[in-house]
């Protein structure tokens, strides 16, 4: 019943089970994917690079390592989705690895927002560079650039605050959070202050 994608692999990477959400995503039924190497299933065949990354991840998970990476999958309508994917080893009572659980969460919307934020950030940097040049040559042009900068900053802040995922931005050197969005405040139950 999970809305996320989840399955069960043997230690060698053969798919034993997958939930309905994962099967429906690609329009598959169990007969087309079970008892096959996971990397040869429809979720992975669109990318040789991802197949290679998955094979390596399965080897690492079979040795006890939790593996996580970002992948892409193409749905039954041929639309590309970004997936937060992981492989989790499952141990028996003696500590031996007996299965691997592959899990995926569709992060396409978040990825689109990140790409949009990155574009706005790039545009903002370009505006700042342009602004520096314009300040040296023309004050009237500077006012126009500042207005564009404010609008761009407002759009960036609006997108940041309206994101469906909680986002924290931290300063690496001081190891302190410097800003968070509304969703993170709601998730944690704290105000921004």
Residue-wise pLDDT tens digits, 140-171:
677 778 888 888 888 878 887 888 888 888 88
Beta-strand ranges (E) seen in 36-142 are 67-74, 80-91, 97-106
Tell me what the mean pLDDT of segment 183-192 comes to. Answer: 89
Q: CA-based Rg of the chain, rounded to a whole angstrom?
A: 23
Average pLDDT across the chain, whole number: 89
pLDDT at 12: 95
Closest CA to 39 of 102, 121, 107: 102
Q: Name the more confident of 58 and 136.
A: 58
CA angle 5, 101, 98 (to 5 degrees): 160
Torsion of CA 31, 35, 37, 43, to 10 degrees: 30
Q: Rounded to an integer, what distance in angstroms lies between the CA atom of residue 59 and that of residue 66?
A: 11
Helix 108-137 crosses helix 139-162 at what angle (to 10 degrees)? 160
Residue-wise pLDDT tens digits, 15-57:
999 999 899 988 888 888 899 999 999 899 999 999 999 999 9
H/E stretch holding 171 reads strand 168-171
Token pair listed for 47? 């990318």
Q: Give bridge partners of residue 81 from the DSSP assignment.
A: 73
pTM of the model: 0.61
The sheet with strand 80-91 has its strands ordered as: 15-18, 5-10, 97-106, 80-91, 67-74
Q: What is the share, in percent, of the chain residues with pLDDT greater than 90?
A: 49
Q: Rounded to an integer, what distance in angstroms lies between the CA atom of residue 19 and that of residue 4?
A: 9
């Amino acid at each position: 019943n999970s809305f996320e994608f989840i399955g069960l692999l043997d230690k060698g990477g053969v798919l034993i089970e997958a939930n309905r959400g994962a099967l429906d995503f690609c329009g598959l039924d169990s007969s087309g994917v079970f008892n096959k190497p996971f990397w040869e299933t429809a979720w992975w065949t669109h990318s040789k690079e991802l197949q290679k990354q998955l094979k390596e991840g399965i080897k690492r998970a079979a040795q006890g390592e939790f593996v996580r990476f970002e992948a892409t999958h193409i749905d039954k309508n041929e639309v590309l989705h970004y997936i937060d994917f992981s492989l989790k080893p499952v141990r028996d009572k003696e500590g031996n690895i007996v299965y691997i659980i592959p899990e995926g969460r569709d992060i396409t919307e978040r990825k689109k927002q990140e790409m949009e934020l990155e574009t706005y950030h790039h545009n903002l940097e370009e505006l700042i560079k342009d602004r520096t040049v314009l300040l040296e040559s023309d004050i009237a042009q500077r006012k126009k650039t500042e207005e564009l900068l404010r609008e761009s900053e407002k759009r960036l802040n609006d997108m940041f605050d309206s994101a469906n995922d909680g986002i924290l931005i931290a300063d690496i050197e001081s190891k302190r959070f410097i800003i968070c969005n509304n969703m993170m405040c709601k998730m944690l139950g704290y105000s921004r202050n």
